[in-house]
Structure 1
Amino acid sequence: MNKVVLMGRLTKNPEIRYAEGENPVAVGRYTLAVNRRWKKEGEAEADFIPCIVFGKSATFAEKYFSKGQMIGIVGRMQVRNWTDKDGNKRRNIEVVVEEQHFAGSKNENQEPRREPAEDGFYPIDDIEDDDLPF
């Protein structure tokens, strides 16, 4: 079984590119800083896990995720081996993201949480139907 579940903070904004071909596919990349369970001399240590995401999930990540944000992902580990142009053997280990979720509260530098309107719903400003992820 190859299953990975991680929660961490994005080290920078997700980057997206499009694979070449007849039907280009969005390919997104980001790195998660995941805290280790044990602390060294009172300071938390983190692992920096490279992640790759495809298709609509990639465009979603680029649009809605940002540096410092806490997210949770579910995916699988992937190991890629290749030989570079100088003949050196190279290896890359990354998580192929199958699910991604918002996992934390808004950062202090973002707008404060709004109170619900009289009807119990929270207002959504400046979002059109095309911007919603569902």
Structure 2
Amino acid sequence: MNNVSLMGRLTADPELKQTYNGVSVLSFCIAVDRPYSKDGNQQADFINIVAWRQTAEFVSKYFSKGQMIALEGCIQTRPYEDKNGNNRIAFEVIARRVCFCGGKSNDNRQATNGNVTKDNSQPDNQSSPNIKPFDSLDGFEEIGMPDDDLPF
């Protein structure tokens, strides 16, 4: 089984490219926070992501540097030769599904508060829905449950 779920911030504005056959592809990097270390310093891992077709177009259109992104995908390796002629292996995450997370964007993009996703399994023949963020709990009530009734 090869499944990856990540949440992090884009380290640069994404740049959409096309293959020779006209297929959209996007390579980008996200900074994923690690738990705080014993000395209290925050550290991050920088993970390379590749998105194809509609997912690439979606990320390019709605995401920018510093914005939080959540994604699902799989790890893929590929061999390459570095500039010194040494054989190396690159590790990348191939994004199958991406979604917004974090607060509403302040720029002109239509990022919303975690409510819009792009999934490659759905056709991309309609525009993104105009979804408003959910700001209050009006009409909802808290369900009380005694702790001694919990099965764990």
TM category (shorter chain) comes to 0.7 to 0.9
Identity %: 41
Q: Deviation digits for residues 81-130 of structure 1, max 9, x if unmatched? A: 123575321221110000000011035xx26xxxxxxxxxxxxxxxxxx9
How far is the alpha carbon of 1:75 from its aligned partner?
Answer: 0.2
Deviation at 1:16, TM superposition (A): 1.4
Counterpart AA for 2:90: N
**Which residue number in structure 2 is paired with residue 56 of structure 1?**
54
Correspondence for 1:132: 127
Larger radius of gyration: 2
Q: How many residues align?
A: 112
Paired residues of 1:60 and 1:133 also in contact (CA < 8 A): no
The reply to whether residue 66 of structure 1 matches residue 81 of structure 2 is no
Amino acid at match of 2:45: D
Are positions 1:20 and 2:15 aligned together? no
- TM-score, normalised relative to structure 2: 0.67
Gaps of 5+ in 2: 108-124, 130-152
Q: In 2, Cα distance between the equivalents of 1:87 and 1:3?
A: 32
Distance 1:68 1:7 in 2: 12
Partner of 1:93: 91
* Structure that is richer in strand per residue: 1
**CA drift at 1:45:** 0.2
Q: TM-score, normalized by length of structure 1?
A: 0.75
